[in-house]
Amino acid sequence: MDTQDPLRDFREQFYLPVGKDGKPLIYFAGNSLGLMPKAARQVVEEELDNWAKLGVDAHHAAGTPWYSYHEALREPTARLVGAKPTEVVCMNSLTVNLHLMMATFYRPTKSRFKILMEEPAFPSDTYAIKTQIVHHGLDAKDALILARPRKGEFTIRTEDILDLIKKHADQLAVVMFGGVNFFTGQLFDVKKIIAAAREHGIIVGFDLAHAIGNVPLKLHDWNADFAVWCSYKYLNAGPGAVAGAFVHERHATNTKLPRLAGWFGNDPNTRFRLHLEPEFIPVPSADGWQISNPPIFAMAPLLASLAMFDEAGGMEPLRAKSFKLTGYFEFLIDQIGSKRFSLITPADPNARGAQLSIQAHEHPKQLHEELIAAGVKCDFREPNVIRAAPTPLYNTFHEVWRFAKILAE
Ligand SMILES: *Cc1c(COP(=O)(O)O)cnc(C)c1O
């Protein structure tokens, strides 16, 4: 499988962390922090050189001018999420962007004030949404609705999500869901959730932290209102790399929408008139939500990383390999057939991404520690789940086979 893999050469373009024996670890933690592309060092050094040599002039004179650096990220990002370039902007970090989107799209009224999200959601999302509710003088006890797995199940049934939307249709202001759940690896039916919410005039947004660079997305066609994501997981852009946001064209061009603004969301023609222009005139695109000047050192690795996704041919070939890689992983784990652990990730390849979540029934922490000791990099989530994500850009079938062998032993 590795020799037949059309993407096999990409592994060479990454630094592979090594274990005590000096050999590369089986790195299945790309859902947490993607590996470093070798090109990242070069682009960051280039910008350091620009700073050293050009100082303030690098804003306009650098190869990729700093002033409009975010524009260089726009098209490759749009391709990954299935958006028009004017619908995306790379800025800030994920949770900050979630707050910015909620500031625009969560406008609770007396009758419509509820938010639907999934449980378990990533804690940052829960904190963000709960404090948004409090920020509007409301109580999460009344305003927050959680879609949960049924008793004895681990993943959330689409029908249950759609039922909740219908049941609370008149009171829901926002549906804010994950694309791929961080804990179970479940890929939600984003298209159906959007359609159901919009049918009832409910704003619908997604946190794509575990979905971008992992599964194909069509945010524009599916008609999502907004989305946010980070870039350090499957996008391999490095720790704290600059995140992104999607605002559908029908909102992005609406300069009347309320928002939390800063100078980089303002029309570039008047931006530099500074104190002479106290009136905020938003750019009629997702850029209108940008607040500050682009953080170049946190953006440069993203530029390098996005180029690799384009070079690989986009999400389609990556997803094709991912199906095989994770499918093989699942097959091997099923073959071991141990009563000591089971998979809580959906068995349907269309309902998951790269990650498998392995529930350990006995001594879960010890099992995880032994995997680590054997040279596997995966993580542990309380109370008993080991998450392992073979990623199609740099992992191999042989690594999957070795992981399964270590697990069996
Ligand atoms: C990784 C992740 C985050 C992290 O948020 P930051 O603002 O980047 O620290 C938030 N939400 C989800 C769903 C995540 O998977």
Model confidence over 153-166: pLDDT tens digits?
999 999 999 999 99
d(CA 304, CA 319): 20
In a domain? residue 1: no
Same structural domain, 404 and 346: yes
Same structural domain, 20 and 100: no
Considering its fold, how many domains does the chain have in total? 2
Same structural domain, 303 and 339: no
Same structural domain, 300 and 341: no
59-94 pLDDT tens trace: 998 789 999 999 999 999 999 999 999 999 999 999
Same structural domain, 94 and 121: yes
Same structural domain, 154 and 258: yes
In a domain? residue 45: no
Domain ends where: 269, 294, 310? 310
Confidence (pTM):
0.97
Domain ends where: 254, 284, 310? 310
Nearest atom (ligand 1) to Cα of 240: 8
211-256 pLDDT tens trace: 999 999 999 999 999 999 999 999 999 999 999 999 999 999 999 9
Instruction: Establish whether residue 229 lines the binding site of ligand 1, counting it when its CB lies within 6 angstroms of any ligand atom.
Output: no
Q: CA-CA-CA-CA torsion for 212, 217, 220, 224, nearest 10 degrees?
A: -70
Same structural domain, 239 and 382: no
* pLDDT for the residue numbered 33: 98
Same structural domain, 267 and 380: no
Per-residue pLDDT at 276 exceeds 80: no
Amino acid symbol at 203: I
Domain ends where: 310, 336, 369? 310
Closest C-alpha among 154, 188, 149, 147 to residue 168: 147
Find the 332 Cα to ligand 1 centroid distance in Å: 30
Q: Which two tokens stand for residue 332?
A: 């091997």
Domain extent, residue 354, equals: 8-30+314-408
Instruction: Establish whether residue 77 lines the binding site of ligand 1, counting it when its CB lies within 6 angstroms of any ligand atom.
Output: no
Find the 122 Cα to ligand 1 centroid distance in Å: 7
CATH number at residue 266: 3.40.640.10
Q: Which two tokens stand for residue 161?
A: 């999500």
